[in-house]
């Protein structure tokens, strides 16, 4: 109990320190622009927030962004400015609710889109319907290509370009593609959605090296039940490139020991796949099942011995973060998705084709897989030949 209170107090202190730094940065920004205290408005604060978040590259709704926004807005309140009213969308009319429900059903049944992605698309299509039709029914004949293009481009004032491209435009593109199935009017609207020119993402400098992986695998105590469970999960992440959500949902029925296969549910696109079970993963799972998994009626593969509950995505991310810190890899290495990129890179270096990698990772497009696999630049330099006729 005392340890829990100490941890909570430590986290609270860190949050306060972040808020104080944000307030100090806001003050310095105002000073450099010659803005006096009496001239500070909500628009001034939002301009500072938008510029700083874009420069820092924070993801929308991330913890860092939330803490930063709260601190700056608190400064404006302390200066005596009235609190801004919250801008919330009104309750959508029944016609919009039915439209969004039909769209979500199409994504799930016809396209096999997972629940998380379906909810994300609906979340960004809903404000568009409100903007375009208000409380009236959805009638695409009222829209022009310019209406759609302006709506997407106007979002650049509120979101990062990457967010507008992948979420706002992506959701609308999926929605209008759905409408074209029985409404030819939607085709020009689909073509009107702009594709933003974004800088190409560079290769991630944070892919785990072979030395980093060896350290990570040795970071879990194989003498304890919890250590065996965490080690088996990490092996699934590093050797098979599985998503955390798919790992925690593994069931006993997903293992075929005689055939040497493991089934990955692939909740992102709802298309389960059977993969060969690597010896390293099989040994880790067998050690966990024989020596650590408690006797329970649950068919979940991973179960905590003390609580008889399955690990959650948050708990997996938590023990990974603790392992990175113990090994001195944090914050250069963070999160679990980097292990998926690392697995793709190792497969590429081993000579696995992009098509085979896409099958293992559960990607529908080889282009997506190509972004996951990092190029081994030192190896390329070693085999590079001098340019004919050029300087050596």
Q: How far apart are CA 124 and CA 173, in angstroms?
A: 11
Active-site entry in 155, 179, 348, 363: 363
Active-site entry in 268, 293, 341, 346: 268
Residue 363 bears catalytic tag: yes
Phi, psi of 326 (to 5 degrees): -60, -35
Residue 231 bears catalytic tag: no
Pick the closest to residue 235 from 223, 247, 245, 253 (CA basis): 247
Structure-token pair, residue 88: 């919330």
Q: Cα dist. 392→326, 380, 381, 382, 385 in Å?
A: 45, 17, 14, 14, 10
Q: Cα dist. 54→39, 63, 379 in Å?
A: 24, 15, 35
Q: Is the dihedral of CA 159, 160, 166, 172 positive or negative?
A: positive
Q: How far apart are CA 165 and CA 129, in angstroms?
A: 18
Contact (Cβ atoms closer than 8 angstroms) between residue 44 and residue 35:
yes
Contact (Cβ atoms closer than 8 angstroms) between residue 28 and residue 69:
no
Residue 337 bears catalytic tag: yes
Active-site entry in 300, 337, 349, 371: 337
Active-site entry in 340, 341, 346, 348: 340
Residue 243 bears catalytic tag: yes
Pairing of strands 273-276, 255-256: unpaired
- 23 phi-psi bin (left φ>0, alpha ψ -120 to 50, beta other): alpha
Contact (Cβ atoms closer than 8 angstroms) between residue 280 and residue 239:
yes
Contact (Cβ atoms closer than 8 angstroms) between residue 277 and residue 283:
no
Active-site entry in 121, 175, 288, 372: 372
Helices (H), 33-62: 42-56
Active-site entry in 155, 167, 243, 346: 243
Just list the catalytic residues.
243, 268, 337, 340, 363, 372
């Amino acid at each position: 109990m005392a340890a829990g209170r100490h941890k909570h107090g430590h986290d609270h202190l860190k949050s306060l320190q972040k808020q104080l730094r944000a307030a100090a940065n806001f003050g310095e920004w105002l000073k450099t622009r010659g803005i006096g205290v009496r001239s500070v408005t909500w628009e001034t604060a939002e301009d500072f927030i938008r510029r700083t978040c874009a420069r820092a590259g924070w993801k929308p709704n991330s913890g860092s962004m939330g803490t930063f926004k709260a601190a700056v807005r608190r400064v404006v309140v302390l200066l005596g400015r009235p609190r801004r009213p919250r801008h919330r969308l009104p309750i959508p009319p029944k016609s919009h609710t039915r439209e969004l429900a039909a769209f979500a059903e199409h994504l799930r049944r016809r396209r096999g889109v997972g629940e998380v992605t379906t909810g994300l698309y609906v979340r960004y299509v809903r404000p568009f319907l409100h903007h375009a039709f208000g409380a009236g029914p959805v009638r695409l004949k009222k829209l022009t290509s310019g209406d759609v293009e302006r709506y997407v481009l106007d979002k650049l004032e509120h979101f990062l370009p990457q967010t507008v491209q992948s979420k706002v435009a992506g959701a609308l593109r999926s929605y209008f593609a759905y409408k074209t199935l029985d409404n030819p009017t939607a085709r020009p609207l689909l073509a009107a959605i702009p594709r933003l020119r974004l800088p190409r993402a560079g290769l991630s400098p944070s892919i785990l090296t072979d030395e980093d992986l060896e350290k990570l695998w040795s970071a879990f105590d194989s003498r304890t039940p919890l250590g065996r469970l965490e080690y088996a999960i990490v092996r699934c992440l590093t050797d098979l490139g599985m998503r955390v959500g798919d790992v925690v949902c593994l069931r006993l029925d997903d293992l075929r020991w005689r055939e040497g296969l493991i089934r990955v549910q692939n909740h992102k696109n709802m298309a389960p796949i059977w993969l060969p079970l690597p010896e390293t993963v099989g040994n880790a799972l067998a050690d966990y099942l024989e020596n650590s998994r408690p006797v329970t009626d649950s068919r979940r593969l991973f179960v905590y011995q003390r609580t008889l509950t399955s690990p959650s995505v948050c708990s997996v991310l938590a023990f990974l973060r603790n392992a990175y810190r113990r090994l001195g890899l944090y914050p250069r290495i963070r999160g679990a998705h980097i292990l998926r990129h690392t697995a793709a890179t190792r497969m590429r270096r081993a000579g696995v084709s992009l098509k085979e990698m896409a099958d293992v990772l559960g990607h529908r497009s080889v282009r997506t897989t190509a972004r996951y696999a990092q190029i081994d630049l030192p190896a390329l330099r070693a085999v590079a030949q001098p340019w004919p006729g050029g300087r050596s």
